Chains A and B, each alone.
Chain A
Amino acid sequence: MLHHGRAALARLFELFRNRSRVDAEQAEEFRFHIEMETAENMRRGMTEAEARRAAILRFGGQQRFEEETRDARGLVVVDNLARDARFALRRIVRAPAFAIGVIATLGIGLGTAVGIGAIVYGVLLRDLPFASPDRLVQVSFHTDGLAESGTLHSAPTFIHFAESARSFTDLGAYSTNDAFALTDGAVAERVTVAMMAPSTFDLLGVRPLLGALFERKDTSWVGEELLPVLISQEIWERRYGADPAIIGRRIEIDHGARVVIGVLPRTFQFPAPSVSIWYPAALNVRRPQIASRHLTVIGRLRDGATIAQAQAELNTLVPSLSTRFPQITSELLQQSRARVSVESLKSATAAPVRTQLIILGVLVAVILVIATTNVVNLFLLRTERTGHEIAIALSLGASRLALAQRFVVEGVVLGLASGFVAIPAAALALSTKFGFTEREIPRLHEVSFTTGSIALIVVCAALIGGMVGCIGLMRAGRAGLSDRLRASRAGSSQGWRRARNGLVAVQVAIALTLLVAAALLGRSFWNLQSAHIGFEPANAMTFQAPLPWGVYRSYADQAVFHARLTDRLAALPGVTSVGGALHLPLRGRGALGYDLQLRAGDDESRSTIRGTGNLANDNYFHTMGIPLRAGRSFQPGDLRGTPAVILSERLAIGIFGTADVVGRSITRFPPRPDMPPTTFRVVGVVGDVQRGRIEDGYSPMAYFPLLRDGDGLPADSNAAPYRPEELQYVIRGTQLSAAEIQQIVRELDPRVPAANIRSLGSIVDDATAHVHLTMLLIAVAGAAALLLGIIGVYSVVSYTAGERVREFGIRLAVGAAPKGIGLMVLGDGLRLVTIGTIAGLAAAFSLTRFLRSLLYEVAPTSVAEFAGATVLLVAVTLIAILLPARRAAGTQPAIVLRGE
Chain B
Amino acid sequence: MAQRTGNEQVLQGTLDLLILKTLSIAPMHGWGLTRRIEQLSQDVLRVGQGSIYPALVRIEQRGWIDTEWRTTENGRRAKYYRLTAAGRRALGNEVASWQRFVDAVGLVLAAES
Which residues of A does B touch, CB under 8 Å? 25-26, 28-30, 32-33, 35-37, 40, 44, 50, 54, 57-62, 64-65, 68-69, 71-73
Q: Name 4 extra pairs, CB < 8 A, besides A30-B53, A73-B57.
A: A33-B30, A36-B31, A44-B2, A72-B58
Ordered nearest first, which 4 A-B pairs have the shortest CB separation?
A: A65-B50, A36-B31, A72-B57, A33-B31
| Interface size band for B | 20 to 34
- Tell me whether B49 is interfacial, beta carbon within 8 Å: yes
- Tell me whether B79 is interfacial, beta carbon within 8 Å: yes
Q: How far is the CA of A30 from the CA of B51 in the complex (A)?
A: 11
Which chain A residue lies CB-closest to B35? A40
B77 touches A65 (CB 8 A): no
Q: How far is the CA of A26 from the CA of B32 in the complex (A)?
A: 16
Within the complex, which residue of A29, A44, A57, A58 is in contact with B30, where a contact is CB–CB below 8 Å?
A: A29
Which chain B residue lies CB-closest to A32? B78
Q: How far is the CA of A25 from the CA of B57 in the complex (A)?
A: 13
B51 touches A26 (CB 8 A): no
Residues of A within 8 A of B31 (CB): 32-33, 36-37
- Tell me, rounded to whole Å, the shortest Cβ–Cβ distance linking B15 to chain A: 13
A32 touches B76 (CB 8 A): yes
A69 touches B30 (CB 8 A): no
Which chain B residue lies CB-closest to A35? B76
Q: Could you tell me which residues of chain B, from 38 to 86, have a CB within 8 Å of some CB in chain A?
A: 48-51, 53-54, 57-58, 61, 69, 76-79
- Tell me, rounded to whole Å, the shortest Cβ–Cβ distance linking A52 to chain B: 12
Residues of A within 8 A of B35 (CB): 40
Residues of A within 8 A of B49 (CB): 33, 37, 58-60
- Tell me, rounded to whole Å, the shortest Cβ–Cβ distance linking B95 to chain A: 24
B54 touches A72 (CB 8 A): yes
- Tell me, rounded to whole Å, the shortest Cβ–Cβ distance linking A519 to chain B: 64
Q: Pull 18 A–B residue pairs with CB atoms less than 8 Å apart, ordered by A.
A: A26-B53, A29-B29, A29-B30, A29-B53, A32-B31, A32-B76, A32-B78, A33-B49, A36-B31, A37-B49, A57-B1, A58-B1, A58-B49, A59-B49, A61-B50, A69-B54, A72-B57, A73-B61
Within the complex, which residue of A36, A37, A54, A65 is in contact with B51, where a contact is CB–CB below 8 Å?
A: A65
Number of A-B contacts (CB under 8 A): 61
Which chain A residue lies CB-closest to B1? A54
B57 touches A64 (CB 8 A): no
Residues of A within 8 A of B1 (CB): 50, 54, 57-58
Please encode chain B, from 16 to 35, with 1 for each CB lying within 8 Å of some chain A CB and 0 for all others.
00000000000001111001
A71 touches B30 (CB 8 A): no
B54 touches A68 (CB 8 A): yes
Residues of A within 8 A of B78 (CB): 29, 32
Q: How far is the CA of A601 from the CA of B62 in the complex (A)?
A: 116
Q: How far is the CA of A29 from the CA of B61 in the complex (A)?
A: 18
Q: How far is the CA of A60 from the CA of B9 in the complex (A)?
A: 13
B53, B58, B69, B77: most-surrounded residue (chain A CB, <10 A): B53
B48 touches A69 (CB 8 A): no
- Tell me, rounded to whole Å, the shortest Cβ–Cβ distance linking A36 to chain B: 4
A28 touches B77 (CB 8 A): yes
- Tell me, rounded to whole Å, the shortest Cβ–Cβ distance linking A23 to chain B: 13
Whether A32 contacts B48 in the complex (CB less than 8 A), given A65-B53, A69-B53, comes out as no
- Tell me, rounded to whole Å, the shortest Cβ–Cβ distance linking B12 to chain A: 14
A29 touches B79 (CB 8 A): yes
A44, A57, A59: most-surrounded residue (chain B CB, <10 A): A59
Which chain A residue lies CB-closest to B55? A72
A62 touches B50 (CB 8 A): yes
Residues of A within 8 A of B69 (CB): 25
- Tell me, rounded to whole Å, the shortest Cβ–Cβ distance linking B109 to chain A: 32
Q: Could you tell me which residues of chain B, from 91 to 108, have a CB within 8 Å of some CB in chain A?
A: none
Residues of B within 8 A of A29 (CB): 29-30, 53, 78-79
Q: How far is the CA of A68 from the CA of B57 in the complex (A)?
A: 10
Q: How far is the CA of A26 from the CA of B56 in the complex (A)?
A: 12
A65 touches B54 (CB 8 A): yes
- Tell me, rounded to whole Å, the shortest Cβ–Cβ distance linking A28 to chain B: 7
Residues of B within 8 A of A44 (CB): 2
Residues of B within 8 A of A58 (CB): 1, 49
Residues of A within 8 A of B32 (CB): 36
Q: How far is the CA of A29 from the CA of B35 in the complex (A)?
A: 15
Q: How far is the CA of A111 from the CA of B90 in the complex (A)?
A: 62
Residues of A within 8 A of B76 (CB): 32, 35
Residues of A within 8 A of B79 (CB): 25, 28-29, 32
- Tell me, rounded to whole Å, the shortest Cβ–Cβ distance linking A744 to chain B: 87
Q: How far is the CA of A29 from the CA of B58 in the complex (A)?
A: 16
Residues of B within 8 A of A73 (CB): 57, 61
Q: How far is the CA of A40 from the CA of B78 in the complex (A)?
A: 16
- Tell me, rounded to whole Å, the shortest Cβ–Cβ distance linking B56 to chain A: 8
- Tell me, rounded to whole Å, the shortest Cβ–Cβ distance linking B103 to chain A: 31
Within the complex, which residue of B29, B30, B48 is in contact with A60, where a contact is CB–CB below 8 Å?
A: B48
Residues of B within 8 A of A40 (CB): 35
Q: How far is the CA of A35 from the CA of B69 in the complex (A)?
A: 17
Which chain B residue lies CB-closest to A50? B1
Q: How far is the CA of A69 from the CA of B30 in the complex (A)?
A: 13
Which chain A residue lies CB-closest to B58? A72
Whether A32 contacts B50 in the complex (CB less than 8 A), given A25-B79, A57-B1, A69-B57, comes out as no
Residues of B within 8 A of A69 (CB): 53-54, 57
Residues of A within 8 A of B53 (CB): 26, 29-30, 65, 68-69
Whether A60 contacts B51 in the complex (CB less than 8 A), given A32-B78, A33-B31, A72-B57, comes out as yes
Q: How far is the CA of A29 from the CA of B77 in the complex (A)?
A: 9
- Tell me, rounded to whole Å, the shortest Cβ–Cβ distance linking A26 to chain B: 7
- Tell me, rounded to whole Å, the shortest Cβ–Cβ distance linking B26 to chain A: 16
B50 touches A60 (CB 8 A): yes
Residues of B within 8 A of A61 (CB): 50
Residues of B within 8 A of A28 (CB): 77, 79
- Tell me, rounded to whole Å, the shortest Cβ–Cβ distance linking A61 to chain B: 6
Which chain B residue lies CB-closest to A25? B79
B1, B2, B29, B58: most-surrounded residue (chain A CB, <10 A): B1
Which chain B residue lies CB-closest to A55? B49
Q: How far is the CA of A36 from the CA of B36 in the complex (A)?
A: 13
Residues of B within 8 A of A50 (CB): 1
Which chain B residue lies CB-closest to A54? B1
Within the complex, which residue of A25, A32, A59, A71 is in contact with B54, where a contact is CB–CB below 8 Å?
A: A71
- Tell me, rounded to whole Å, the shortest Cβ–Cβ distance linking A402 to chain B: 15
Residues of B within 8 A of A54 (CB): 1
Which chain A residue lies CB-closest to B30? A33
- Tell me, rounded to whole Å, the shortest Cβ–Cβ distance linking A738 to chain B: 76
- Tell me, rounded to whole Å, the shortest Cβ–Cβ distance linking A846 to chain B: 64
Q: How far is the CA of A68 from the CA of B54 in the complex (A)?
A: 6
- Tell me, rounded to whole Å, the shortest Cβ–Cβ distance linking A344 to chain B: 66
Q: How far is the CA of A756 from the CA of B55 in the complex (A)?
A: 82
Which chain B residue lies CB-closest to A397? B50
Q: How far is the CA of A32 from the CA of B29 in the complex (A)?
A: 9
Q: How far is the CA of A71 from the CA of B61 in the complex (A)?
A: 13
Which chain A residue lies CB-closest to B49? A59
Q: How far is the CA of A62 from the CA of B54 in the complex (A)?
A: 12
- Tell me, rounded to whole Å, the shortest Cβ–Cβ distance linking B3 to chain A: 12
Residues of B within 8 A of A57 (CB): 1
B1, B50, B77: most-surrounded residue (chain A CB, <10 A): B50
B30, B31, B69, B77: most-surrounded residue (chain A CB, <10 A): B31
- Tell me, rounded to whole Å, the shortest Cβ–Cβ distance linking A256 to chain B: 89
Residues of A within 8 A of B2 (CB): 44
- Tell me, rounded to whole Å, the shortest Cβ–Cβ distance linking B29 to chain A: 7
Which chain A residue lies CB-closest to B2? A44
Residues of B within 8 A of A36 (CB): 31-32
Which chain B residue lies CB-closest to A28? B77
Q: How far is the CA of A61 from the CA of B32 in the complex (A)?
A: 19
Q: How far is the CA of A25 from the CA of B2 in the complex (A)?
A: 30
A64 touches B77 (CB 8 A): no
Residues of A within 8 A of B50 (CB): 30, 59-62, 64-65
Q: How far is the CA of A37 from the CA of B76 in the complex (A)?
A: 14
Q: How far is the CA of A25 from the CA of B67 in the complex (A)?
A: 12
- Tell me, rounded to whole Å, the shortest Cβ–Cβ distance linking B10 to chain A: 12
